[in-house]
Amino acid sequence: MTTKDVSIVLAHGAWADGSSWGRVVTGLAARGVKASAAPLPLTSLAGDVAALNRSIERMPGPVILVGHAYAGAVIALARPEQVKALVYVAALAPDEGEKVADVFYRAEPHPLAPKLAPDANNLIWLPDDAFAKAFAPNASAEDRSVLAAVQRPIALACITVPAGRPLWKDVPTWFLLAEQDHMIIPATQRFMAERMKAKIRSHAVDHTPIVTAPGPVIDIIHDAVQSVARN
């Protein structure tokens, strides 16, 4: 198998959409790696897993799943047949029986983290000022304005349902730890990464390096691609 035989499926987190992976997609393409961004509805954990599985089915051969933030919970529940590795980018990784909210609120939040609450429709929106304070503080003003404008709310049902057995117990896993994360504190990320026995790459990046620092994200995905291709 060569690296060209491996496909990447990228899963966006809460308050984002597939366009957040744009710089990662083009960076991987420059290395000869094909990637597709799965559109997640963010309406329920089960619905997001089903949407991810539909994207996996469109890819030929072995697949590596990459999840940012909330999507770490989603990639771990995907149909396993084609999945050869997982890559977490400042992502959440609940164990079997845990809820996304359990790991997200495991420790005291960062002082700049936004206070989150569902609206009348049980949807959680990110306050506009949170994009600069916590979500992507290292982004340009232009990038932050786009992120805020296209944000997609996450339903309460995504984070309050116990997860099933995660794939990270069965396949190789990589974890990009964001040292400057104001949304998911680094200590929580390290706890999850070490529990998964993931290959950890720690970088001085914010919560959304897929936008603000795509280089380390591309590098860790490429590491996973090369490892899967060798096997």
**pLDDT 10s digits, 90-144:** 999 999 999 999 999 888 889 899 999 999 999 999 998 999 999 999 999 999 9
Pairing of strands 199-203, 173-178: parallel
Q: Which domains does the chain have, with CATH numbers?
A: 3-230 (3.40.50.1820)
The whole-model pTM stands at 0.97
pLDDT of residue 4: 80
Tokens 């079997």: give the residue: 96
